[in-house]
Amino acid sequence: MEIIWYHPSQSAATWIYGLQQRLPQARVRAWQPGDDGPADYALVRSPPAEMLQGRTGLRGVFALGAGVDEILKQLQQYPDMLPEEVPLFRLEDTGMAQQMQEYAVHSVLSWFRRFDDYRLQQQQHCWQPLPAYPRNSFTLGILGAGVLGRSVAEALKPWGFPVRVWSRSPKQIAGVTSFAGPEALHDFLQGTRVLINLLPSTAETINLINHDFFQQLPHGAFFLNIARGAQVVEEDLLAALNSGQLKAAALDVFQVEPLPESHPLWSHPRVTLTPHNAAVTLIDEAIDYIARAIDQHQAGEIPQGRVDRQRGY
């Protein structure tokens, strides 16, 4: 079995060693330009089109991340890069869920306990206790109820806040209110005090979170984006922050990355930024999943994480 690997920024050595330890029957190599040798499986992040084009023996492609929007965007430009019959898989968790939970819990508790307000008061040398927010009306709304959205909902439940999710289809999560479909989005937003975006990146979600979207939230709501920057109209986000419609935002992803030095989000007093690292791929966990999935695929089974290219996840 032949496996080719490509990542634009990571070292191949750890991946190759780990895969060979778990799949001793496989020969694993880092793909280089001009390599058109045999390959049964490809492990990729933002692969050059030439890596995959014309590979008639390819049995599956594994994206080295939870999102596959980069590959799907490439397929729009190079439709022959990956034939429809070749399955595409993504990393559904592999350690990312716990990292997302940590990020979300930290952000929610910081806002609920008003640490953002106290940081601003500290800069002014102001000693002033602030009224507490009522817990029973500090409703947390999660956009997206897939593996990561569900895990974040589960992590937030023990803190006693009302938790709700919105997704394309109804979800059953104990103790969590589920809203489904476009017709339920308005009701979901109206009662949401903290909006957490964990939607997959699809044609339907690009620029979804805009002025009209923010206006449906209660005045003074909070916004956490740990999904994709392309889903948010940043000019509308800034306007909502400046008007007070949004009280604060924590942002890990942006329309352009790295965020340009001149972008006003850098210096906004109500914005907390991180450099797209809310959840990073943990190599050992990812290799475990990929090795297990390849064994399942070789045995004629369908591994978890197969992407529906029409839906985008």
Structural contact between residues 312 and 202, judged by C-beta atoms closer than 8 angstroms = yes
What are the backbone dihedrals phi and psi of residue 44, each rounded to the nearest 5 degrees, phi first?
Answer: -140, 155
CATH of the domain at 187: 3.40.50.720
Statement: residue 312 has pLDDT above 90: no
Statement: residue 30 has pLDDT above 90: yes
193-223 pLDDT, tens digit per residue, is 999 999 998 889 999 999 999 999 999 999 9
Q: Could you tell me the residue range of the domain that residue 53 belongs to? A: 2-93+281-311
121 and 250 housed in the same domain: yes
68 and 172 housed in the same domain: no
User: Other C-beta atoms within 10 Å of 111: how many?
Assistant: 22
Average pLDDT, the chain: 96
266 and 295 housed in the same domain: no
Task: Count how many domains the chain has.
Answer: 2
Ordered DSSP codes for 126-145: -----PPPPGGG--EEEE--
167 and 100 housed in the same domain: yes
Q: What's the CA gap between 35 and 71, in Å, rounded?
A: 20
**Element at 60 (helix H, strand E):** strand 60-63
210 and 81 housed in the same domain: no
pLDDT at 92: 84
pLDDT at 73: 87
Could you tell me the pLDDT band of residue 25, with boundaries at 50, 70 and 90? Answer: very high
102 and 194 housed in the same domain: yes
24 and 107 housed in the same domain: no
Q: What's the CA gap between 8 and 187, in Å, rounded?
A: 42
Could you tell me the pLDDT band of residue 313, with boundaries at 50, 70 and 90? Answer: confident
6 and 133 housed in the same domain: no
- Mean pLDDT, rounded, for 269-297: 96
Query: Is the full-model pTM beyond 0.85?
Result: yes
Q: What's the CA gap between 145 and 166, in Å, rounded?
A: 7
149 and 12 housed in the same domain: no
167 and 23 housed in the same domain: no
For the chain, percent of residues with pLDDT exceeding 90: 90
Closest to 220 in 3D by CA, of 163, 138, 160, 141: 138
For the chain, percent of residues with pLDDT exceeding 70: 100
Structural contact between residues 248 and 217, judged by C-beta atoms closer than 8 angstroms = no
Structural contact between residues 228 and 254, judged by C-beta atoms closer than 8 angstroms = no
15 and 53 housed in the same domain: yes
Residues 130-138: contacts with CB under 8 Å, at least 24 apart: 135/160, 135/161, 136/162, 137/162, 137/193, 138/112, 138/162, 138/193, 138/194
The residues annotated with a catalytic role in the active site are: 228, 276
189 and 267 housed in the same domain: yes
User: Which amino acid, one-letter code, is at 32?
Assistant: Q
Q: What's the CA gap between 274 and 255, in Å, rounded?
A: 14
